[in-house]
Amino acid sequence: MFISSNLVFLELHKTGTTHVQKILDEVLDGDIRGKHNQLKRTVFDQNTLYLGSIWNPWAWYCSLWSYGCDSAGMLYGKLTRTRRRLGRPLHWMSRPRETYGETLRLPSKDWRETYRDARDPEAFRTWLKMLLDSPHRRDIGEGYGSSPVSSVCGLMTYRYLRLFCTFRGEDAALKKLLSAQEVERYEQQNNFITHFVRTESLERDLFAILSESGITLSDAAEDKVLNMPKTNSSVRPLGLADYYDEETAALVARKDWILIDKFGYRLE
């Protein structure tokens, strides 16, 4: 999270957020406090500009996966590391889910296989279906797979709702969302972000937002920003549409339709 006197930037994972943080840190007097963290209700101020980041959901999933193919990212580490436990608590056989929670079912070998090659669309499609449309979505943690909302929302929408519509410590509200209509209503009523920057046009969007807020950058400052190298980017050897077949394209459309409709995204 980047915080200045009149602007707060909250970062949705894998949407160019490190780059935006560096730009804001370069042109504004503010502080970087953690990353991907939720805002506290007690510090919310209606007079503050709240900035969020967004990306095409089809591209977002592909980037999240291909980043893992480079053995990088928190999600990759969580899904592929081997977990061992010492000892077995009482009643572990009769109530294994209660005893071990979500980690009991973690098939790390299966997940590692889906990260085998960033040039393999079949590996990506298997990964995507495990992530969004199978019991394996419980392996992700973050409260996603264990929440009823995972049956109607994709991981991207879930993270979006947590960061941009839910204050820290109030995630229980997400567990009450049982239908797509309820999710849509929750987003409309609780989204506190005033401006979004799109990964496809980060610098242009950011310049426009800063200008609208009365913050003017010199030509030299703009040139410096435009020449700053991107960070934490993933390599995608094939075109985006090559990774999707009809089934997986429809899966993202069904799970993340709220973001697709709100921001007008298409698979292209």
> What's the pLDDT at 220?
75
Confidence class for position 60, pLDDT limits 50, 70, 90: very high
| Domain limits, the chain | 2-83+100-263
- Does residue 98 register a pLDDT over 60? no
Nearest to 160 by CA among 145, 176, 146, 144: 144
Confidence class for position 235, pLDDT limits 50, 70, 90: low
> What's the pLDDT at 88?
47
How many Cα atoms occupy the beta-carbon half-sphere of 227 within 13 Å?
6
- Exposure class string for 113-150: b at 16+ Cβ within 10 A, else e: ebbeebebbebbbbbbbbbbbeebbbbbbbbbbbbebb
Helix 57-69 with 155-164: angle, nearest 10 deg: 100
Contact 144, 78 (CB under 8 A): no
The mean predicted confidence, pLDDT, of the chain is 85
User: Mean pLDDT, to the nearest integer, of 48-69?
Assistant: 95
Regarding predicted confidence, which is higher, 171 or 18? 171
- Exposure class string for 79-103: b at 16+ Cβ within 10 A, else e: bbeeeeeeeeeeeeeeeeeeebebe
Give, for 157, the enclosing helix (H) or strand (E). helix 155-164
User: Mean pLDDT, to the nearest integer, of 244-265?
Assistant: 97
- Token output for 227: 């020449």
- Token output for 47: 């007079």
> What's the pLDDT at 250?
97
pLDDT in tens, 189-229: 999 999 999 999 888 898 888 888 777 777 777 777 777 77
Measure the CA–CA gap between 195 and 17, rounded to whole angstroms. Answer: 14
3-state class (DSSP) for residue 43: helix
Distances in whole angstroms, Cα of residue 112 to Cα of each of 21, 59, 77, 165: 31, 21, 10, 32
User: CATH classification of 2-83+100-263 is 3.30.1120, yes or no?
Assistant: no
Cα dihedral 25, 195, 178, 264, rounded to 10, equals -120
Q: What is the pTM of this model?
A: 0.86
- Does residue 105 register a pLDDT over 60? no
